[in-house]
Amino acid sequence: MAKITYVEHGGTEHVVEVANGLTVMEGARDNNIPGIEADCGGACACSTCHVYVDAAWVEKLPAKDDMEEDMLDFAYEPDPTKSRLTCQLKVTDDLDGLRVQMPEKQI
C-alpha cells in the first residue's frame, strides 16, 4: 500500500492510502478526490486524469510510453517533464509518499 497526496489546483490536499495493483487514478476515483475525472475509466483514451508530478518524483516513476505521450498532447497545459496520466501509474510500495498536483481543469 502507498500513501499518495493529491493536491487540488486550489491547494487542498488529500492524503489517501492506495492498494498495490491499483492505479493512481483509481485511488483518486475510489476516494472521491476532486480534479481527476477519468472519463475513459483508465483506458488511456483521454487526458482527464492528468496531473503534475512533484519534481522529487519525476525520475522515480517509470518512463511514459508512446500512448501516454500522445494523450498528454490533449491535456490542459501539459508540462513536458512533470505531466503524467494517473491511469498509467500503477501503485506499488515504491510510490509511498507520491505527491501529484491537479491542473486548473481537465479537458
List pLDDT tens digits, range 16-29: 999 999 999 999 99
pTM of the entire structure?
0.96
Write down the pLDDT at residue 76: 97
Reduced to 3 states (helix: H, G, I; strand: E, B; else coil), residue 25 is helix
- Quick check: 31 and 16 in contact, CB under 8 A? yes
The Cα-based distances of 35 to 3, 63, 104, 105 in angstroms read 18, 23, 8, 7
| Domains of the chain with CATH codes | 2-101 (3.10.20.30)
Write down the pLDDT at residue 85: 98
Q: What value does the mean pLDDT of the chain take?
A: 97
Write down the pLDDT at residue 103: 98
List pLDDT tens digits, range 48-67: 999 999 999 999 999 999 99
